[in-house]
Amino acid sequence: MGPFGRRFWYMKQWASPVLVLVLTTSLFFLGVDARAQSSSEHHPASIATGTLHNLQNEPDEGKWEGSTEGIAYSEFNHRFVGLFVLLFGLAELGHALRYRLPVWPRLVLPGALGVIGTYLLIWSDHEAWPIGSFTFVQTFSGQDPEILQHKLYGVFSSIAAVSETLRRISWARHPVWAIPLLVLGLGGALLLFFHSHGDHPGNHRIVLHHTVLGSFGIGAAVSSAMVAWASGISPQTAKRWELVWAGLVIGMGFQLLVYSE
């Protein structure tokens, strides 16, 4: 067994306990965020209760962006998405480590993307269609670029979910079917560098999170392309690219789970 083979064997031995730890931590983050969101909805801060506010950082009264409720809503959405990104990253890691798994774990990625896409198309923004006051046309017209980008991520995820499902059940065998995941993933990663929350008081933290996510996303897209289309590479090299792909996706999941504004 060569050096890479030994490292690969050790990774497989440690993978199962690490997966349990990761999932437990992820659920903890999501649970804490859900409780925080509930608390912010039922116990709003006010001067009448003696809460001190920094007037320079406090958003305008009645404004959703940057408000306590708005921040809780946004953080929950990011962490909800992060949980599913982490789940399919772990499933991809299991495949990269060559575990003897049934067929269904290969469908975790399209399944998770389908959940993410559906969630974002419905609940990405509380003002947007179909749950908010904006109409369908207002939501997708781009009058609010932030909302439009969130909805585009929902569209991207949904399209990639369909194409990857067809690929992984062998209904679409041609390499061209790998394009949606690559192109939409790369496009989504690049959009993060231009994603703005306007005059949000925590905008500097948001930009930092999005920069890290975008960088991970570009790396994941490149490694995905290498796995899908690189011809003439050795099995060991292909395996390494699969590990890079899975690792970057897992990194994105963690970054979303610790997202804060």
pTM here is 0.78
Q: Who wins on pLDDT, 47 or 224?
A: 224
* Structural Rg of the chain based on CA atoms: 20
Give the angle 106-214-25 at the CA atoms, nearest 5°: 60
Average pLDDT estimate for 92-113: 89
Residue 104 CA to residue 109 CA, distance in Å, equals: 10
Residue 64 binned pLDDT confidence (cut-offs 50, 70, 90) = confident
Average pLDDT estimate for 64-82: 92
Q: Who wins on pLDDT, 68 or 218?
A: 218
Average pLDDT estimate for 103-120: 94
Residue 224 CA to residue 205 CA, distance in Å, equals: 28
What pLDDT sits at residue 14?
46
> Which pLDDT tens digit goes with each residue over 178-227?
999 999 999 999 999 998 776 777 888 999 999 999 999 999 999 999 98
Q: Who wins on pLDDT, 31 or 133?
A: 133
What pLDDT sits at residue 103?
80
Share of the chain above pLDDT 90, in %: 59
Residue 194 CA to residue 135 CA, distance in Å, equals: 24
For residue 130, cis peptide bond before it (omega within 30 degrees of 0) = yes
What pLDDT sits at residue 51?
37
> Which pLDDT tens digit goes with each residue over 26-37?
455 555 555 544
| CA dihedral sign of residues 14, 19, 22, 24 | negative
Residue 100 binned pLDDT confidence (cut-offs 50, 70, 90) = confident
Highest mean pLDDT among 43-47, 172-176, 254-258: 254-258
Share of the chain above pLDDT 70, in %: 75
What pLDDT sits at residue 6?
52
